[in-house]
Amino acid sequence: MSSARFSWKKFSAVPIVGIVRNNSFEDLIKILPIYVNSGLNTIEITMDTAKAEEMIRYARNNYDYELNVGAGTVCEVSELRRAIDAGAQFIVTPILNKKVIKICVKENIPVFSGAFSPTEIYKAWSLGASVVKVYPATSLGAQYIKDIKTPLPQIKLMPTGGINLINFAGFMETGAASYGVGSQLFDKKHIENKNWDELGKHFAAFVEKIKKK
């Protein structure tokens, strides 16, 4: 495995983090080339997914120049170490864990820390989070992201949870730096039916939204 680091240039061009959760290894092998060909370039594999570490290694070994490959649902330092050992180039947490952030900062690994309230968001950023993941985003709504950005414009926010093609435009108007999209991106029916062409079109529709921003 190469020692390539997270590419902010790629991420900034298409700031969507696709979240792989509970998909099979076999499906991931089919999904990755479609994901890359659609123009998406940053993917998160959650650590609670079966064979997560093998998936991270596979993605790094086979798509190192095309993708930023990260680990998600990292709640503890032990999970962080496993993710880093597997080759994760960035870390995403659902909660604010001070130790996880500090280790990532020390080891120069981008960390997208989860947070909910303005206080948590500011604390995560102050500790050195590269991006603050606001979760669950659709429970709060796009207006919440706008409201946070007003007094805290310097903080890079990544609304996550429930973002889809219908509400995506609203979230893109909030000043968010990026967007975390899971099941709404990795369409379950297309994957179950092995309808890879339709999955590719679905991916491309998200990219098109970004390009029109």
Domain count, the chain: 1
2 falls within a domain:
no
Q: Tell me the pLDDT of the chain averaged across its residues.
A: 96
d(CA 86, CA 59): 10
Tell me, what CATH number does 108's domain have? 3.20.20.70
Give the amino acid at 10: K
The average pLDDT across 167-196 equals 97
> Is 21 inside any structural domain?
yes
Answer yes or no: is pLDDT of 4 > 80. no
Asked whether residue 2 carries a pLDDT value surpassing 80, the answer given is no
> What pLDDT is recorded for position 213?
73
Residue 118 is predicted with a pLDDT of: 97
Structure confidence at residue 12 (pLDDT): 96
Which tens digit of pLDDT belongs to each residue from 129-164?
999 999 999 888 999 999 999 999 999 999 999 999
Sign of CA dihedral 43, 49, 51, 53: positive
Structural tokens at position 148: 């946070």
Tell me: pLDDT of 1 over 70: no
Q: Contact at 8 Å (CB) between 55 and 74?
A: no
pLDDT of 80 higher than 60: yes
Give the Cα separation of 93 and 91 in Å (integer): 7
In a domain, 23, yes or no: yes
User: What span, in angstroms and rounded, lies between the C-alpha atoms of 209 and 168?
Assistant: 8
- When pLDDT is averaged across residues 61-84 and rounded to a whole number, the result is 97
Q: Residue type for 102, please?
A: K
Mean pLDDT of 83-108: 98
Which residues constitute the domain of residue 24? Answer: 8-211
Q: Is the pLDDT of residue 73 over 90?
A: yes
Q: What is the predicted pLDDT for the residue at 138?
A: 85
Here the tokens at position 2 are 């190469």
The answer to whether the CB of 47 falls within 8 A of the CB of 72 is yes
| Chain segment 28-60, per-residue pLDDT in tens | 999 999 999 999 999 999 999 999 999 999 999
